[in-house]
Structure 1
Amino acid sequence: MSDAAQPTAAEVRAAAEAVKTALDRHLAAVERRSGEDDPAVYEAFNQLAAAAEAYDELLYDRYDEVTPFEIPGDDTLPPYTGPEEPNAISVLIRRDYAVAEPQRLLAQAQRVEAADAEAGIGVGGPGTVHGALGTLFGEFEPDEIASRHKEFGLEEGDSTLWVTASDEPTDPGEWLEAPFEHVDPQQVVCRFDVSAVFDEDEDADDDEDIDEDVDDFDTGLDEDDEDLEPLTDR
């Protein structure tokens, strides 16, 4: 960035004052909060995040320095503004899997096809992975596949479940092409996410705690016991 384009010292100072003002407003909103999802707290939070981000950018551009603040991403749900007594709900679920063992997947699908053939429902068996997936998901409910995924050669990935509320049920066929596309975030009653990212963060915290404990704790094991592995309660 050229010197002409750099923010002035006064602009950086003004941005710092804006952060201070936003901090005071956020604290005041928290102190006056009317409930867990108070819109005033949510708005003050966003204003504080925006002010901190602006200050961080100006500080870096002017002085090549950064703040110790981590600017939060917009990954939280806004306050619920849907109906107090909803007449309908929608449950949106996405589960990701990796095809860890294609041969196991094919074998399971072939068993299904063989059973159907004996019953006179169909003949032959799937010879491709995508054909096997179609067979298994056509035979078993998604919840059963989730609970037995290892049997089908699948490895769990991320998953998410959203519950949304509305005044009236949607028209048949209205959302089938894009089930998540028209969701109003302010009508999401609750959301549950499962991800390996969360596990990695917990593992990192656990490892730090274990390392600190080991420095101050004598296990009392002899050298002959080196092959013993510690048990951790997660």
Structure 2
Amino acid sequence: MSDIAGPTAADVRTAVEALKAALDGHLAAIERRAAESDDDTAVREGEVHAAFDELAAAGEAYDELLYQVYDEVTPFEIPGGDTLPEYVGPDSPGSLSVLIRRDYTVVEPQRLLFQAQRIVDLDPESVEIDEERAEDAGRDLHVALGVIFGEFEPDEIATRHQEFGLEEGDATLWVTAGDEPSEPGEWLSAPFEGADPEQVVCRFDVSTAFDDGEFD
């Protein structure tokens, strides 16, 4: 039997007081940055980043102790360094790129074929594929997918995926920063080739792995 004592309720109380102090420090750093002149922006930005890291560490420590002592967790999640590398992009971005990936599983192909054929039957002129291929919308999944994704915006498909026989998988959204906007047509041949994790301003992930505890 180990003689090492586990964390106590007092440790949890100490951790939550440290978290409160880190919250105050984070807000104070943000307020100082907002009040300073442009000449001090870089310095204040560094203070905000440092306060953010301190807040993240305090939140993680409190959450871990809370679970160990009381078998409870907090509803907060502060993204850490394991998700993205340290940001090295411009402090004042001149352009933004939004990169979205959503995965689906085709669980009811007949439903997908039916919906595609229905679109073709209702308004053949709205279909963004040639007339000859459109005739196969109710028989060919490749054609059906072209009809569905050509007719509806990705966000609408995401909210109505069950109507099209699809099941949601993992999803992610990256907002990346740049200095200058891209030239028209510059990246169309390889749209995701230049995605640089070090340029990501913020990232949002959706996955059942988070619910199951399979992914940290």
Q: Normalising to structure 2: TM-score of the pair?
A: 0.56
Q: CA RMSD in A?
A: 3.2
Mark the CA change 1:119 to 1:95 in structure 2 (over 3 Å): closer, same or farther: closer
How many angstroms does 1:128 deviate by? 0.9
Q: 2:115 aligns with which of 104, 108, 111?
A: 108
Q: Which has the larger radius of gyration?
A: 1
- Letter of the 1:105 counterpart: L
Partner of 1:153: 165
Counterpart for residue 217 of structure 1: none
Amino acid at match of 2:103: D
Q: Distance in 2 between matches of 1:82 and 1:170?
A: 16
Kindly state the Cα deviation for residue 119 of structure 1 after the two structures are TM-superposed: 8.1
Q: Spell out the pairing of 1:53-132 with structure 2 (5 A cutoff).
A: 75-117=82-124, 122=131, 124-126=135-137, 127-132=139-144
Residues 175-200 of structure 1 deviation map (CA, whole Å, 9 limit, x = unaligned)? 22333321222211001111111121
Structure 1 residue 183 corresponds to structure 2 residue 195: yes
Matched, 1:137 2:137: no
Q: Work out whether residues 126 and 151 of structure 2, in 8 Å CA contact, stay in contact via their aligned partners in 1.
A: no
Q: Displacement, 1:118? A: 8.2
1:64 alignment counterpart: none
Q: Residue by residue, what CA displacement relative to the aligned partner does 1:50-88 show, whole Å, maximum 9, x if unpaired?
A: xxxxxxxxxxxxxxxxxxxxxxxx842122222222111
Residue in 2 that maps onto 1:211: none
Counterpart mapping for 1:215-234 below 5 A: none
- Is the Cα–Cα contact under 8 Å of residues 91 and 162 in structure 1 kept in the other structure? yes
Q: Supply the distance in 2 between the matched residues of 1:181 and 1:118 (Cα, whole angstroms).
A: 34
Describe the shift of the 1:195–1:132 C-alpha distance in structure 2 as closer, same or farther (beyond 3 A). Answer: same
Q: Do the aligned partners of 2:94 and 2:180 also contact (CA within 8 Å) in 1?
A: yes
Show CA shifts across 1:129-155 (max 9, x none): 111101100111111111100000000
Change (3 A) 1:79 1:151: same
Distance 2:140 2:126 in 1: 23
Letter in 1 for 2:190: A
Identity %: 63
Equivalents in 2 of 1:116, 1:75: separation in Å? Answer: 48
| Aligned CA distance change for structure 1 residues 181 and 119 (closer, same or farther; 3 Å) | closer
Compare 112-121 and 144-153 and name the one that shifted more.
112-121
Residue 36 (structure 1) shift: 5.8
Q: How many residues align?
A: 140
Equivalent residue, structure 2, for 1:168:
180
Give 2:208's aligned residue.
196
Correspondences of 1:207-222 after superposition (within 5 Å) = none
Task: Give the alignment's TM-score, normalised by structure 1.
Answer: 0.52
Taking the aligned partners of 2:136 and 2:115, their CA distance within structure 1 comes to 10
- In structure 2, stretches of 5+ residues that fail to align are 1-45, 54-80
Structure 1: gaps (5+ residues): 1-33, 42-73, 203-234
1:95 positional shift: 0.4
